[in-house]
Structure 1
Amino acid sequence: MNGDWLLRGRDGRLTVYLPSGEAVLCRAERGPGGPWEDAPRTVGGTQKLHPGAAVGQGADRYAHLAAWRPTVPGESGLVHTTHFRPLLAPLDWVPIGHPDKKGDRTGPPAVAVDGPGRGYVFVRNAGGGVSLRNQKVKGGWGGWLDLGGQEIEERLAPVAAESGRVELYACAPGAILHWHQEGDGKKPVRAAEVEAAVRPGTLRALATSAEHTTVFFTDDSGDVCAWRPGEKPVPLLAAAGPGPVSAVRCVIEGHDCTVLAQRSASGRVAFAAYPTEQESAGAWWTESGPQLPSDALVAVALDEHEELVAASLSPSTGTLLLTRRKDEPGLALEAWREI
């Protein structure tokens, strides 16, 4: 999944979204804190999908998902659905077209949700730039918008700022590009870029204050770095492993902290925390849990008590593990358990 596949619904229940062959599955807590549903459910009906779905969540805690579906031989189109509450069935997939009108897949979609709850689906187009289709202020969907850019890497990192306006980060050769909205519902405009040698597939964006969003990435030297537009990228710590980090803000002992999680080179999940937007304070990894398969994914979120919860998923085995923060000082975690 592209995006935060571990989410808390507006009723406090956690949901995980899982890739499964030609479908996306969801599985939710029966009540806040568990237990979980015995088996996952299919999202969006019987529509067959290509791998690589995306998920995003708004301030209303509704989940929006987008994916490619096969249409005619050699061609595909994008579809979208909304999941309002964890124990309700998501809506059926709705076709939203192709950024180039027709053709095959051009890159994995990415999803953000603005303050009023409208979905934004970003995808690289056939020309190597970025295209966007979003829900309109008065309902329905607007047309496809070309946001520009050249030689954009496939994986995009959208984020909703605390203002509710949507921003987008993307990589081009030797640079990170940034788009933002200048008003509610407005077309995002290219705002800034910075020179950076980014490992493909490692961008992860997070709203970190009322004024800023921060994008995390791994550079060619192997460091996890943080960048906020208008500043210079800051190396934070050496990457624990090869994939992207998952990130969330939470309060730890009264301090606003950013927590990063990543599957480490040893196969375990590594966590690091530091005061939000204070990268100069430094951070270091602490490993947790059992060794995981090489394809394991890691996600972090906040539970119904605003405490850290983390999950790992191995698509090859289907094993889903979960841990929560203990009621102890620091970032102490419970034993990982399979759900």
Structure 2
Amino acid sequence: MSTAALPRVTVVAAKYRDAVPLVALQRDAAAIGVICAEDDGKEGRAALDRALADAEGRGCRVAHAPRTLGGQRGSGKEELLKEFQEVRPQRLLVQDPDPVRVGFDESAGVPVHDVPPGDAATALDAIAAARDYQLATGEPVLVDCRRAGVDERADITAPLRYPQTTNWLAEGFDGRLTAFQPSAGGVLRWTQDEPGGRSWRGPELLPGPRLMPALSVCRDPHGFVHLLALRRTQRKDGGEDVSIMRAAQYRTGGALTPWHSLGSPNPGDRYKSREAGFPAAAFDASGTLFVFARNFGHSVSYRMQGADGSWAPWQHLSGARIADEIVTVTTARGDVEVIARLRDSAAVVRWFRPGAGAAWTEDRSIALSPAPGSMAAGPEPGTILFRDLHTNEPCVWQPGAVSALPIGGADGAGPVTGVPGIESEGWAYSALVRSGPGGSCVVGAHAQGRPDAGVWWNDLGAHSDRMPAMVRDRTGAVTLATVREGGRLSVANRLSPTGGFDFSAWNRV
């Protein structure tokens, strides 16, 4: 395949050596270009050349020789924008724009990091330049930010700074489907023209504030879709705040509500407010929205919006120190629960309430060891899906169980999600979807409520650089969706609402 026909992936890092793990993350065929803020000498360049040679062995091509910015300090964004106008990136790989602290200097009142400050500054310049490039050209740029301190040999999704967007394909109030994806320039949206139809339009870039390139999507009991994200804003004292933002889509294909800031679990402090974790959200049976995020102390904070629209202030759940990885589930009773991966051990902690209005209870009795970046809500109420840290095999945890059940499918990477209530030849099933080898879309199914009866998996191809999505609409029809660089959405539909698990050919929107 010629370089021109391959997806264009641009790696931006502070130095040559910093670009090595980013190049290693690109496992699939792509035209890779590397841009660094500064030259770190012959050894750094040699390490990068070896990484690029290894990438070529995996089927990639080197789009151009590694480049170094030559501008003055503080001109990184402008220099990168010029480079992007030439190389036209479709996917951007950068370092962590907001690394988590490893300590706090009480005497100086500042956080301590184990990475140079230039790493985050270069990443922020690259995201800002990609945003301006996308807004000027209309060409979508998908962005992956790599967490610091993660071995490049780890699972391809484990080093991601922000969680993958799950459940990004949703049915609206009128029965039409909408797909959402984060990009450098903001939220991309594709809209189905009519319920059950094969015609879509998009991607369109939804107007809104300058968001970080990540997104959380959830649906309320009435069928309206809610989006959550993070936004960085400059402070008058020279620092930056990170705020949790929320908007809703009440009419399919229509304008979003204005993005509303929910603030930060630790407002007012230029360092503490910056460490707001990525939000996770869910609705309970009464229509109350719960938004959870990691706080400065590495525990969980939450806000909730009642069915009357009023917001309560941020509250903190004391207890375990967690990583920036939170999953929410709604139980069969309609209560919201939270499961988070612990920061300092290969385990999880769960918070639940015995009833509406009761105090939150911390539960560390669940014996789960999820791989970083792999947890997601399962298709059935209260269930959790994840990949085992040691085997990479998808597992399901059901309420009341002490441990999880492996369900096969150790190939691939990232979370597993699904939908319940799939009828097939007179039986009810839960359908699952995940990424398989090379990012293909793999679907599976098991008898509803009985994953122990066995899951069979079927690879449907359709390579996707983002996690595939699945939705079951009100008619019982099942739709799959994948998305690649350049905002290319592909959709496949189940051929029969009650027959086997056979799907149509992929339709590129």
Fold shared by both chains (TM-score > 0.5)? yes
Instruction: Choose which of 224, 238, 242 in structure 2 pairs with 1:76.
Output: 242
Task: Name the residue aligned to 1:200.
Answer: 372
Task: Name the residue aligned to 1:240.
Answer: 411
Unmatched 5+ stretches in structure 1: none
CA contact (8 A) 2:446 2:453 kept: yes
Higher relative contact order (CA 8 A, sep 6+): 1
Task: Name the residue aligned to 1:261.
Answer: 433
Task: Name the residue aligned to 1:308.
Answer: 478
- Match status 1:86 vs 2:252: yes
Higher helix share: 2
Task: Name the residue aligned to 1:325.
Answer: 494
CA distance in 2, matches of 1:310, 1:216: 19
SS in 2 for 1:104: helix
SS in 2 for 1:64: strand
- Match status 1:125 vs 2:300: no
Task: Name the residue aligned to 1:57.
Answer: 219
Higher strand share: 1
CA distance in 1, matches of 2:186, 2:470: 23
Going from structure 1 to structure 2, the CA distance change for 1:36 and 1:153 (only over 3 Å counts) comes to: farther
CA contact (8 A) 1:326 1:333 kept: yes
- Cα RMSD over matched residues? 2.1
CA distance in 1, matches of 2:211, 2:453: 44
CA contact (8 A) 1:179 1:189 kept: yes
Which residue identity lines up with residue 238 of structure 1 in the other structure? G
- Match status 1:17 vs 2:180: yes
Q: Deviations over 1:286-334 (max 9, x none)?
A: 11133x15x33211111342122111112x3322111111127321111
SS in 1 for 2:370: coil
Query: How does the TM-score come out when normalised to structure 2?
Result: 0.61
Task: Name the residue aligned to 1:101.
Answer: 267
Task: Name the residue aligned to 2:336.
Answer: 166
Q: Deviations over 1:188-236 (max 9, x none)?
A: 432453122210011111352xxx5110111121211111232121111
SS in 2 for 1:280: helix
CA distance in 2, matches of 1:10, 1:18: 20
CA distance in 2, matches of 1:186, 1:338: 48
Task: Name the residue aligned to 1:277.
Answer: 449
Going from structure 1 to structure 2, the CA distance change for 1:35 and 1:272 (only over 3 Å counts) comes to: closer
Instruction: Choose which of 331, 334, 337 in structure 1 pairs with 2:504.
Output: 334
Q: Note the C-alpha offset of 1:47.
A: 1.1
SS in 2 for 1:195: coil
Task: Name the residue aligned to 2:26.
Answer: none
Q: Deviations over 1:248-295 (max 9, x none)?
A: 1122222221111111114321111001221221112111133x15x3
SS in 2 for 1:34: coil
Going from structure 1 to structure 2, the CA distance change for 1:118 and 1:81 (only over 3 Å counts) comes to: farther
Task: Tell me the matched-pair count.
Answer: 332
CA distance in 2, matches of 1:65, 1:185: 25
CA distance in 2, matches of 1:326, 1:306: 11
CA distance in 2, matches of 1:310, 1:79: 28
- Match status 1:39 vs 2:202: yes
SS in 1 for 2:408: strand
Q: Note the C-alpha offset of 1:149.
A: 4.0
SS in 1 for 2:439: coil
CA distance in 2, matches of 1:75, 1:251: 48
Unmatched 5+ stretches in structure 2: 1-163
CA distance in 2, matches of 1:320, 1:261: 16
Task: Name the residue aligned to 1:252.
Answer: 424
Q: Note the C-alpha offset of 1:2.
A: 3.3
Q: Sequence identity of aligned pairs in percent?
A: 29
CA distance in 2, matches of 1:191, 1:85: 39
State which structure, 1 or 2, has the greater radius of gyration over its C-alpha atoms. Answer: 2
CA contact (8 A) 2:287 2:306 kept: no
CA contact (8 A) 1:226 1:235 kept: yes
Of stretches 91-100 and 327-336 in structure 1, the one that deviates more from structure 2 is 327-336
SS in 1 for 2:276: coil
Which residue identity lines up with residue 217 of structure 1 in the other structure? F
SS in 2 for 1:71: strand
CA distance in 2, matches of 1:117, 1:42: 29
CA contact (8 A) 1:66 1:80 kept: yes
Going from structure 1 to structure 2, the CA distance change for 1:27 and 1:266 (only over 3 Å counts) comes to: closer
Query: How does the TM-score come out when normalised to structure 1?
Result: 0.90
